[in-house]
């Protein structure tokens, strides 16, 4: 809880944050989500593993201190950490990227990210353009990150993942999509980025000199609305009650996460976040803004 209290005290804008930091470091038994896609994160932070004909893809590393939990989860599923060939990231905040340096070191995997996320990953998340600049402790820096262009792809063996820029929560935020199959039935998997608009005291999404802040987030909402989407995963699983559906995962029952409306519902959440944030900023003119709300 301490981490959350610190964030709450330093944030001047409220935001609906679906996050319980006590759960961020709690072990979660790993499980198959669908086909070759697995959950290997903690109770409060997602890490997604995809097995291919040529090794493993891991998306997100969660916190630095969670690395042993994640590696234990990967092994519990019968995989080898050494077989992780590629590590991707949703966004370069410590709760999703903090463990990547150690995971890349242990596995020898190549780390790949959007250009803006790559810069942040190489600076331990210490990015002056980040809405949460100054609010989060830096994490271990990565020395080499391969840039994936917006709209680009990452292929490992038989599996191709598609990169979708999802700026807003961070400038370099990224969603990843791919197809996973079970008994010949292939579904559109979407690991969409966080959509909360939490920030430090000075960052303004409505800054007229930074029009890309609002425009970028609107593009993210539009992207979420049009993605082929059968199973949605997000960095903070509680944002969509992802783990709440786990007990319904039963043999011969419909997959509990199969919901072709999930991405549109998530886009609706993002739209509501945007409207609330714009109203809040309008109610707090820049001149009166310094020091507001402690």
Residues that bind Zn ion (CB under 5 A): 93
Residue with smaller CB distance to Zn ion, 93 or 277:
93
**Rounded to the nearest whole angstrom, what is the least distance from the CB of residue 254 to Zn ion in the complex?**
32
Degrees, nearest 5: CA angle 19-23-24? 75
| Residue nearest Zn ion, Cβ-based | 93
**Rounded to the nearest whole angstrom, what is the least distance from the CB of residue 40 to Zn ion in the complex?**
19
The string of DSSP letters for 152-174 reads -EEEETTEEEEEEE--SSSTT-E
Spatial distance between the Cα atoms of 207 and 177, rounded to a whole number of angstroms: 31
**Rounded to the nearest whole angstrom, what is the least distance from the CB of residue 259 to Zn ion in the complex?**
24
Q: Assign 3-state DSSP to the chain and report helix, strand, coil percentages, each to 5.
A: 35, 20, 45
Asked whether 71 and 62 are in contact (CB, 8 A), the reply is no
Asked whether 202 and 244 are in contact (CB, 8 A), the reply is no
Residue with smaller CB distance to Zn ion, 17 or 246:
17
**Rounded to the nearest whole angstrom, what is the least distance from the CB of residue 194 to Zn ion in the complex?**
5
Spatial distance between the Cα atoms of 125 and 169, rounded to a whole number of angstroms: 13
Residue with smaller CB distance to Zn ion, 93 or 116:
93
Residue with smaller CB distance to Zn ion, 93 or 213:
93
Residue with smaller CB distance to Zn ion, 13 or 34:
13
- How many residues are listed for the chain in this entry? 294
**Rounded to the nearest whole angstrom, what is the least distance from the CB of residue 96 to Zn ion in the complex?**
6
């Amino acid at each position: 809880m301490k981490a959350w209290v610190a964030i709450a005290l330093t944030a001047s804008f409220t935001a609906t944050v679906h996050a319980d930091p006590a759960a961020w470091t709690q072990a979660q038994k790993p499980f198959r989500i669908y086909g070759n896609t697995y959950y290997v994160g903690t109770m409060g932070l997602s890490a997604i593993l995809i097995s291919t004909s040529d090794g493993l893809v891991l998306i997100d590393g969660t916190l630095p201190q969670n690395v042993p939990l994640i590696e234990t989860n990967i092994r519990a599923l019968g995989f080898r950490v050494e077989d992780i060939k590629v590590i991707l990231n949703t966004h370069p905040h410590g709760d999703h990227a903090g463990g990547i340096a150690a995971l890349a070191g242990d596995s020898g995997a190549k780390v790949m990210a959007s250009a803006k996320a790559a810069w942040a990953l190489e600076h331990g998340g210490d990015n002056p353009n980040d809405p949460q600049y100054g609010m989060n402790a830096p994490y271990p820096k990565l020395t080499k990150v391969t840039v994936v262009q917006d709209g680009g792809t990452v292929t490992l063996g038989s599996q191709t993942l598609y990169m979708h820029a999802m700026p807003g929560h961070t400038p370099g935020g990224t969603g990843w999509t791919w197809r996973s199959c079970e008994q010949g039935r292939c579904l559109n998997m979407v690991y969409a980025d966080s959509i909360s608009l939490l920030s430090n005291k000075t960052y303004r999404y409505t800054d007229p000199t930074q029009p890309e802040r609002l425009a970028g987030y609107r593009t993210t909402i539009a992207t979420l609305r049009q993605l082929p989407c059968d199973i949605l995963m997000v960095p903070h699983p509680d944002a969509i009650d992802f783990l709440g559906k786990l007990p319904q995962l039963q043999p011969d029952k419909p997959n509990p996460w199969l919901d072709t409306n999930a991405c549109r519902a998530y886009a609706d959440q993002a739209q509501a976040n945007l409207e609330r944030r714009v109203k809040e900023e309008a109610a707090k003119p820049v001149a009166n803004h310094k020091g507001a709300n402690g």
